[in-house]
Structure 1
Amino acid sequence: MTSAAVPRRPLSRITAAAAAMVLLLSGCTQLGSGSESASDGGGTDSGQEEPSGEPEHPLVDIGTSAAADLPSDPATDPDYSSYYEQDIEWGECEDVYADGIECGTLTVPLAWNDPDGKTIDLAVAQIPGTGQDDDSLVLNNGGPGVSGVNFLESAPYMFSPEVRSSYDLVGFDPRGVARSAGIECLSDEETDDYLSETVEPGEAGGDEVFDDWEKKIAESCEANSGDLLPYLDTYSAARDMDVLRAALGSEKLDYLGFSYGTYLGSSFADLYPERVGHFVIDGALDPKNTMDDFFAGRAAAFEDSADAFVQSCLDSGESCPVSGDVAEGKQQLNEFFDSVDKQPLDSGNPDRPLTGAIARSVFYMLMYSDELWDSGWDAISAAMDGDGSLLLATADQSNERLLDGSYRTNFTYAITAVNCLDHPWIADEQWQEDQAEQLAEEYPTFGAQMGDNGCGQWPVPPLREPAAITADGAAPILVIGTTHDPATPYPWAQSLAEQLDSGVLLTFEGQGHTAYGRSGGCIEEQVDAYLLEDTVPEDGFTC
């Protein structure tokens, strides 16, 4: 089947949901509970080529970030003194579902090149360390668009008692996200419709349906939050993080960032190499990537993970709902999803049947952790027997959809708002169509879903050129890559570690997205020794 017979679904939808899955994983993964790779030997080559950083075709027009190039260092410029002299008043949190978390706010300029202009407040939170005279470890759990305040509800499970003793764990909602001047787009009811939208493969007008959604989302975001949209790029968020560093009383930033958090962290290091403290970035994005490189790399990596996912089921025995070899098993899954496109399944809620789009999104999300594969197959098996309730519940949980039908955060739209500013794409529409067809043909499980970047009608142009980050003069920066990571393919970690002047590559041979907190202890041991004892791992360490 060629891509002409498969609808192209805006990836912002399933990527956002999967970003929230990373948040959920941190709560259900205890330190030292990693599992063996499902691949043969857990090799270090996913088969993807490293992007050249120089696309053969012209990119769309690129605007200018208000935060990329400033005439002075804001930390020493009197015009910014009111921001850098802030103290965070820690107090009780609202709508946070865990004890021991303190919350506060931090004020930053909306446009970093206009310090006297409009300001926004950022939501910050911390879990105080159990020791005395604790340093602060700032965390970002990715997305972009996932709440760092909410992340603290489960983050403690990732860290050893020694790290918890030595560091206050600090999270924040980046600008435009959740409590930090969160952008507003579609209503909750419209979001339900968007996430559930299914177009039958081969149906005429499929692309138009999703183009209409793309336009509707862009128009609603602009109507409700148009004054914020030009200032949600990662350079702006990195500038914000320097204000947070100062408010925490730290001369240098100690930081652990996952997935998109690696892009935020490397951008901070690019702007402020002299302020890099203990720096760890896990599941690296390659800053040389165009948006098209981004999706092509992920299409290959997700297909690799789908192969391992199906193989794990086939190896489990008679309880597996698919049969034959891996290719046949994937085909059976795709045929099942196609059938749900035509006839949604009973979910126990007559107003919300399980659609093909929701079912596929859960399948996609399961690739983020092999620790979820057994329960994922249980939900898929139930659905193949006619009960869609488990798959719908999993989708709702990962989307942070509450029982009252509201959504806890705005990440479904915040991820688009940030990504469309950070990553330009090739302007040639015919090239885009050809690329979509090629991805769908080469990667039959997920390739068709990678054929639309969701930014074609976004009201703000991209603000950043794809370019290497070197952070010359920075302290050692640990870059962690997982050999079969579907969301941030391993070659990206290799590339970023090579770009950085002080990059140190650590490799986890396994399945799933990111490694710290889920590697079974081997990566955690190296990172903790660095955080606690200043022991820099050997470059190229592999486990």
Structure 2
Amino acid sequence: MRVSRGLLAAVSGLLVAVSGCTSSSEPAPEEETAATTVAEPQAAEIAWSDCNEQIRPLIAGSPGSDRNLSFECGRTEVPISYDEPGGATLPLFLVRAVFGEQVDRIGSLMINPGGPGASGTDAAIQMALTLPEDVLRRFDLVGFDPRGVGLSTPVECIPDDLKDQFVAAEPRPTTDEQFDARFALTDEMADGCAKEYGDALGTFNTVDTARDMDLLREGLGEEQLTFLGYSYGTTLGSTYAELFPEQVRAMVLDAAVDPDGETQAETEAQAAGLEAGFDAFAANCTQLIAGCPIGQDPRRFVEDLLAKAAQAPIPSAKEGETRQATPGVVHTAITAGLYSPAAWPQLAQGLAAAAAGDSQQLFSLADSYYRRLQDGTYSNLLDANITINCADTDDEFDEQTVRDLAVEWGQRYPLFGADSAVDLYTCTPWEAEVTPLPERDAEGSAPILVVGNSGDPVTPLPGAVDMAEELTSGVLLTWQGQGHTAYPRDECVTAAVNSYLIDLAVPQDGLTCPA
């Protein structure tokens, strides 16, 4: 998705689990001049190795870890530029999970958890624990880190201290000083990445990642691709379908990003979605039999807490923690907590604890959102998110336009409007070659199942409706539930998706599953 300060991905990080399977010092694209070359794009030759010893200890005790699973780590090379046959390559990293009770294997199910910037290898590990066993019995589960992400030549150009500043920054600027500080922070991140990578920044784009996917499909020995993509993964999947329509066997696009949405309109829709998501969280909290930890007016409670944090950042009771929660940290924690109703209790308790003087739970939410580890370092999620977004579009918004929209949206969407408006500036100072996303009708493709959620705070339902309409073979499935993404959270959705993936049984277009 476009937005960088928020709305990243729904799958939490396990990247450390597989870090021992690959080199931790991959060269940046500019340093790849001596890399292996290929005459022209061809099937990726994937070198697989057993990595159960690395992964098993880290999933031990997690729900689903008692499943009979085996894990392999894979490594391959893809062209840096598809416009230069025979040019240098870059490495991609994969994880394959195989269920020990597999029968009548259909093939590989490739997944992408979103972002952009989220790790597909991470997702493969976690989803092997949670996807329905009916699916795992028929498919190997394969996740790959897209170019620039995770362990696949990661883009790393934003220092950890700058990421701390980014999270802590004022989320709802109103004064010139606050606006200037947000713009300056964005400029500093863009300048640092330009100095680190130069022209290579444009390498990390969605179109070339979709081309990588087709090489991976061939390397996996699959005649056609079976794909499950969430959030930004719907952008990646639909791009693949546009480029390679005849190679699609089955494709599920869950929590679809509007393929035609203009940046400004899409960003405003996200602000509105988050606002509605907060209202759903608040309504749920106030109806709890045990009482809502943040009272009967959660919105007023949050406004008071943000004001309190602005006057004096809130300390954490966690031993060794020196950070204090600014309004930016509080705001990030709220955004993270709205992704899933399962996180609502932690969010409510964390807000109540922060009001009492302990921000520990809010830091936990904010840190998980941006993948900040215990040692204070971050994954490259934010670096990759901005890099890929800004390699996909040349849309720019000047400072005055952003200031005006922040005032307008701040009145319309009090919690999330101003922050969303400022995010429009993200790519303005970015220096990278742009590879625009194609228009996507995927004519000639097999049926593509688009799943939308009427209560999705991150990718509102109209995006899924538009995606299904734009795709020539698109079929819409709607869930009337809350939170970001639907499969496999609901039985009705799960049954429809399973039948489609396994038997290619396409549900009726427009099917609605109740909450």
Normalising by the residue count of structure 2, what TM-score does the alignment of the two structures yield?
0.86
1:13 aligns with 2:13: no
Indicate the residue corresponding to 2:18 in structure 1: none
Deviates more, 1:118-127 or 1:341-350: 341-350
Indicate the residue corresponding to 1:277 in structure 2: 249
1:159 aligns with 2:123: no
Deviates more, 1:473-482 or 1:147-156: 147-156
1:343–1:318 Cα change, 3 Å: farther
Per-residue CA shift, 1:152-206, capped at 9, x if unaligned?
2211233222211110000000011121111111222332233223478544411
**Inter-partner Cα distance in structure 2 for 1:226 and 1:513:** 35
**Inter-partner Cα distance in structure 1 for 2:155 and 2:446:** 35
1:302–1:424 Cα change, 3 Å: farther
Per-residue CA shift, 1:4-54, capped at 9, x if unaligned?
xxxxxx9512334xx2xx11399xxxxxxxxxxxxxxxxxxxxxxxxxxxx
Aligned-partner SS, 1:14: coil
Indicate the residue corresponding to 1:345 in structure 2: 314
Residue 398 of structure 1 and its aligned partner are, at CA, apart by: 2.9
Please list, as runs of the form range in 1=range in 2, the aligned pairs for 1:34-433 lying within 5 A after superposition. Answer: 79-80=39-40, 83-84=42-43, 86-92=45-51, 96=55, 97-98=58-59, 100-130=70-100, 131-132=102-103, 133-198=105-170, 202-316=174-288, 319-324=291-296, 328-348=297-317, 349=320, 351-407=322-378, 409-425=379-395, 430-433=400-403
**Inter-partner Cα distance in structure 2 for 1:259 and 1:331:** 31
One-letter code aligned to 1:255: F
**Inter-partner Cα distance in structure 2 for 1:154 and 1:350:** 28
Normalising by the residue count of structure 1, what TM-score does the alignment of the two structures yield?
0.82
Per-residue CA shift, 1:223-251, capped at 9, x if unaligned?
22334311111101100000000000001
**Inter-partner Cα distance in structure 2 for 1:221 and 1:526:** 43
1:199–1:89 Cα change, 3 Å: closer
**Inter-partner Cα distance in structure 1 for 2:171 and 2:462:** 34
**Inter-partner Cα distance in structure 2 for 1:414 and 1:94:** 28
Indicate the residue corresponding to 2:11 in structure 1: 23
**Inter-partner Cα distance in structure 2 for 1:233 and 1:94:** 33
| Aligned 8 A contact 1:200 1:341 in 2 | no
One-letter code aligned to 2:487: Y
1:442 aligns with 2:430: no
1:374–1:449 Cα change, 3 Å: same
Aligned-partner SS, 1:469: coil
One-letter code aligned to 1:246: E
**Inter-partner Cα distance in structure 1 for 2:328 and 2:5:** 10
Residue 430 of structure 1 and its aligned partner are, at CA, apart by: 4.7
Aligned-partner SS, 1:136: strand
| Aligned 8 A contact 2:48 2:72 in 1 | no
Gaps of 5+ in 1: 1-9, 27-77
Q: Let me know the Cα RMSD of the aligned residues.
A: 2.3
1:231–1:199 Cα change, 3 Å: closer
One-letter code aligned to 1:330: R
| Aligned 8 A contact 1:197 1:357 in 2 | yes
Residue 419 of structure 1 and its aligned partner are, at CA, apart by: 1.1
Per-residue CA shift, 1:129-149, capped at 9, x if unaligned?
432545100000000001111
| Aligned 8 A contact 2:448 2:475 in 1 | yes
Deviates more, 1:476-485 or 1:350-359: 350-359
Aligned-partner SS, 2:405: helix
**Inter-partner Cα distance in structure 1 for 2:506 and 2:7:** 33
Deviates more, 1:429-438 or 1:171-180: 429-438
| Aligned 8 A contact 2:405 2:418 in 1 | no
Indicate the residue corresponding to 2:26 in structure 1: none
One-letter code aligned to 1:339: K
Per-residue CA shift, 1:488-522, capped at 9, x if unaligned?
11001001101111101000001111100212x11
Aligned-partner SS, 1:301: helix
| Aligned 8 A contact 1:101 1:125 in 2 | yes
Q: Which has the higher contact order (CA 8 A, sep 6+)?
A: 1
| Aligned 8 A contact 2:110 2:141 in 1 | yes
Aligned-partner SS, 1:23: coil
Aligned-partner SS, 2:5: helix
| Aligned 8 A contact 2:170 2:182 in 1 | no
Residue 212 of structure 1 and its aligned partner are, at CA, apart by: 1.2
Aligned-partner SS, 1:100: strand
| Aligned 8 A contact 1:101 1:152 in 2 | no
**Inter-partner Cα distance in structure 2 for 1:405 and 1:429:** 32
Deviates more, 1:284-293 or 1:186-195: 186-195
Residue 120 of structure 1 and its aligned partner are, at CA, apart by: 0.4
1:293–1:186 Cα change, 3 Å: same
Gaps of 5+ in 2: 15-37, 60-68
Paired residues in the alignment total 472
**Inter-partner Cα distance in structure 1 for 2:413 and 2:6:** 16
Residue 87 of structure 1 and its aligned partner are, at CA, apart by: 3.8
Indicate the residue corresponding to 1:5 in structure 2: none
One-letter code aligned to 1:299: A
Residue 433 of structure 1 and its aligned partner are, at CA, apart by: 3.6
1:308–1:80 Cα change, 3 Å: same
